[in-house]
Amino acid sequence: MLFRVLGGAVAGVVLLWLVWRWDTRPKVVRVIAAPDLPADGFSHDRFEGLLRQFTTAGGRVNYGAWHANATAQQDFDMYLATLAEASPDSDPERFTDDAERLRYWMHAYNAFVIKAVLVNWPLERVTDVKAPIEFIKGLGFFYKLRFVAGGIVLSLWEIEREKVFASHRDPRAHFVLNCASASCPVIRPSLPSGPALEAALVTAARDFVTNPKNVSVDHTSRRIRLSTIFKWYEKDFVRDLERRGLPASEGPLDYVRHIAPAALRDELAQAADYPVEYVDYDWSVNAAGAA
């Protein structure tokens, strides 16, 4: 009897593993375009030009207009072809410093997200792009879809964790990566190169925490409300504080205090005894014209 039970348990585990493997088998998003690489370095000009054309001042994307514009689609595919051809891993000589490598991966992530939305357009929520069986919310969009960077096939999750954060360990990138959803940080039409990227990261972090949708103090209910991003990536924020020798006992809230401008730090100081609650994440696509 025991062997039958154990045999049934093993069979169940094997079946679950096979279902998982089938469910998460990659769906590679490929483009048909010739890469247009410069002789040296790497250019994001084509992508940044498209972002300036199809994003609003508030950081929303006009996916409908982009999808309907054949020339823009072709230009975008040419940029994606350059990403597919070269990356900091495949062509390290093109990326002379850490800032250039980080810039590449942040732009690549945002570009692949936009491509995923366009190939599924019209789309109400990125979580509507589903795997056949959704073990985890967002599995279809962030893990099942795959993209090519420097000849290697990667999911959005792998780019975020293995390329952006495992290599660079700068949690401010969380305020630049855009997952095409209303609760995401706004997409930035350009990211500067070299030392100027540091200032852009500072700006992105401050813009995010000073938006009341992401950080707010409610004196009536005596609550501090934070974006769920701080909960999901708590370890990234805490580890950064610890590396800098800064207080981290209150987790993400300490990080918010660290990057917040003076006015917000003062308000948080007045709410020192308030508990933190995390705001529900809005997965609605950040399309121009949406609420």
The full 3-state SS of the chain, as one line of letters, equals CHHHHHHHHHHHHHHHHHHHHHHCCCEECCCCCCCCCCCCCCCCHHHHHHHHHHECCCCCECHHHHHHCHHHHHHHHHHHHHHHHCCCCCCHHHCCCHHHHHHHHHHHHHHHHHHHHHHCCCCCEHHHCCCCCCCCCCHHHHHHEEEEECCEEEEHHHHHHHHHHHHHCCHHHHHCCCCCECCCCCCCCCCCCCCHHHHHHHHHHHHHHCCCCCEEEECCCCEEEEEHHHHHCHHHHHHHHHHCCCCCCCCHHHHHHHHCCHHHHHHHHHCCCCCEEEECCCCEECECCCC
Does a structural domain hold residue 198?
A: no
Q: Based on the domain organization, do 68 and 177 belong to the same domain? A: yes
Does a structural domain hold residue 136?
A: yes
What is the total count of domains within the chain? 2
Tell me the residue range of the domain where 38 lies.
20-187
Q: Based on the domain organization, do 43 and 100 belong to the same domain? A: yes
Does a structural domain hold residue 252?
A: yes
Q: Based on the domain organization, do 146 and 244 belong to the same domain? A: no
Does a structural domain hold residue 256?
A: yes
Q: Based on the domain organization, do 24 and 128 belong to the same domain? A: yes
Give the pTM.
0.91
Q: Based on the domain organization, do 163 and 41 belong to the same domain? A: yes
pLDDT per position in the chain (291 positions), as tens?
Answer: 555 555 555 555 554 444 445 555 799 999 988 898 999 999 999 999 999 999 999 999 999 999 999 999 999 999 999 999 999 999 999 999 999 999 999 999 999 999 999 999 999 999 999 887 767 788 999 999 999 999 999 999 999 999 999 888 899 999 999 999 999 999 999 999 989 999 999 999 999 999 999 999 999 999 999 999 999 999 999 999 999 999 999 999 999 999 999 999 999 999 999 999 999 999 999 999 765
Q: Based on the domain organization, do 51 and 157 belong to the same domain? A: yes
